[in-house]
Structure 1
Amino acid sequence: MKSFTDTRHNPWVTFTLRRLGRLTVSLALLVTASFAMIHLVPGDPVRAALGLSASPELVEAREHALGLDRSLPDQFGSFLTRLLHGDLGESIGAQMPVADVISDRLPSTMQIAAIAFATTIVVAIPLGMAAGVLTRDGRRRRLELAFVGTTSVVAVFPEFLLAVGLVALFGAQLGWLPVALKEGPESYVLPVLALAIGPVAALSRIVRVETLRVLDEDYMRTARAKRLPTRILYLRHALPNLLTSSLTLGGLMLAGLLTGTVLVENVFAWPGLGMTMVQAITQKDYPLVQGIVLVYGTLALLINFAVDVLLAVTDPNSTIRES
C-alpha cells in the first residue's frame, strides 16, 4: 500500500489539489466581492427600490427584514451561513427568494449558451481546418487574406451590435424570424447566432493556425508519404492533435458566452438571467443582482476548472508538468 507521502507526491494528486485550491480561493473572492457590491453602491438600495414616496417605517422594516440594519461583520456572517444553505436572500422588487427567481430564469440562459457553444465547435473546427489545408505553404493567398481579415473583424464585433444587426436584417427587413420572446424553435435562431458568430470567427482562426502547425509535423509528412486517404489523414492524424488548444479556447469561450447573454437577452427580450439582471439593476434590486453575479461567476469558474481537468486527461504530460 502506498504511503501518504507517496500519494501526496503523485503528479495527478498534486495537480488536482492545486486546481481545487485555486477554485476555492477564486470562489471565496467572488463571494466576498458580491457581498461588498451591495454596500459599495451609493445611496440606500432599499429606498431606491421602494421609491422616494415610501414611508420611513416601510423602509426601516425592509432593511430589518433584509438584515441591512446590522453591523457589516454580522451581515457577512449571516450571508455566508445562508449561502451555505442555498439561500441567496430575498429580492427587494419581486419580494420572493432570489434562488426561486434564478431557478426560473437560468434554464433559458443555459439553453441558448449551450446551443451557441455547440454551434461554435461544430462550425469553427471544420472551417478552421479547411482554411488551414487550403492555404498551406502560401497557397491561395487571396483566400488567406480574406479569411484572416474577415474573422479578425467579426471576432471583435460586440454581441450587442450583432444582435441589433440580426434583428434589423432578418426580423424587421426580411421578416423571416421572430425577434422577441421565447416562442418556438425558430425564436432560438437569432439569439444563438448573435452569441456564436464572434466565437466561431475567433476559434476558427486558432484552429487554422494549429492546423498549419500540425500539418508541418514529421508524423504528418510520414502519413502523407504513405499515401493515406485524405479522410484518414486529416480526421485520424491531424484533428486529434489540434484539439487541445481548441478545447482550451472553446472552454474559455463557453464562459464568455454565458456573460454575453446579458446584453443579447435584452435585445431579444429573452426570459433568462441576463434580462433579469438588467431589470434588477434598473430597479436597484441589489440582492437579486448579487445572486445573479454569484451564479454567473460560479459557472465561469467551474467551466474553467472543467477545462483544466479535460486538458489534463487529453494531454497529461504537458498539462500536469506546467501546473
Structure 2
Amino acid sequence: MTVKPIVLIVDDNAVNLLLLATLTESVSGVPAVSFDDPVTAAEWCQSNTPDLILVDYMMPGLDGHDFIRIVRKLPHCVDVPIVMVTTENEKTVRHEALSLGATEFLAKPVDVPECRSRIRNLLALRHSQNLIKDKAKLLEHEVRQATAAIIDRERELIVRLSKAAEFRDPETGAHVQRMAHYSRIIAKKLNLSVEFQQLLLDAAPMHDVGKMGIPDHILLKPGRLNEEEMIIMRRHAEIGAVILAGSSAPLIQLGEEIARTHHEKYDGTGYPNKLVGESIPLSGRIVAVADVFDALTSERPYKKAWSDESAQQFLQDNAGSHFCPVCVAAFIESWDEVMEVKAKLLD
C-alpha cells in the first residue's frame, strides 16, 4: 500500500497559498495542508510529520527563519525537506535559511515548471529517506531476532549440559534451579545490571558440569569421600572449565568462570587455584554462597537437610573465611525472596 505524501504550505498571501497548493496537488495527487498563519502551522507540526514544507519568508508573527528554527527542533521533522519561497536577490536571507536547515529555495514570482520539478524531486528524496528508515528498522528487527535465536540456542546448550550432569549426579535438578535463582537474588541485591542478573541465572546451572568427568565409584558413593577420593572429586571444577572453555558467547564464558571458581574460598583455602578475596571473580563468589546454602538445606544420601536458620548461621559464621562477606550480607538481606524460591522449587 502506497502512502500518500503530506505537503505543508505556509504563506500569509492567499493568492500564493492557492497557487502553491494547486501546483503541489498536480504533482503529489493529494491536497496540500495549507496555513496562512505560521504560528498555527508550527503548532500543527508538533503532532504531525509532513513530507515536504513550502514556507514563505515574509510573514507576520513568525518569519520563515523563525518557522524553520522551530520546526528543525522537532525530532520528527529534522530531515523533512523545507523549501523557502523568497525573492531571488535576498542572498542574506537565503544564507541564514540554509544555516537554519532550509533544503531548497523558490524565487518569486514562482516559475511553474521549476516549482513542479522541485516539488517532484524533493518528494522523491523524502520517499527514499523513508525507505531507508524502514529498511533500517527492518534490519534492526532482524538483528534482534537473530541475536535472540543465538541466545536461545546457548540457553538450550546449557540446559542440555546441566541435564547430562544431573544424570550422573545424585543431586536433583531442583538444586541447580534453586541455586541459580539464589545467585540472581544476590546479584540483584548487589545492584548489578539486569542483563548480568539474567546471564548469571542462565549460567549458574553449569557450575558442576565438570562432574561428568568424575568416575562413578566416587561421584555416586553414598557415604562420605576419603581424602584420595576428595582430591579426584575436586578436579570437577577444572574439568567443567575445560568443557566450557574457548567459547565466544558471553553466557558460556560466564559458565566457564563459575565452574572454575565457585569452590574458591575468600581466605585462599579453596580450590583449584587458592584465589583470595576479590581476586575470585564476583560470579564465583556469588554462586559459592547460593550453592552451599542449597547443599546444606537439601537432603543427601550421606546427610540430613539442615534447617534454613542453621544454614544461614553457617554462612554468617564463615563470611570472610569461606564466603565473600558482601555476598553473604546480600543473600541474608534478601531472605524473604530466598524463602519464596525454596518453597516454590521443591525436590
* Greater Rg by CA: 2
Q: TM-score, normalised by structure 1?
A: 0.22
RCO higher in 1 or 2 (8 Å CA, sep ≥ 6)?
Answer: 1
Q: TM-score, normalised by structure 2?
A: 0.21
Structure having the higher strand fraction is 2
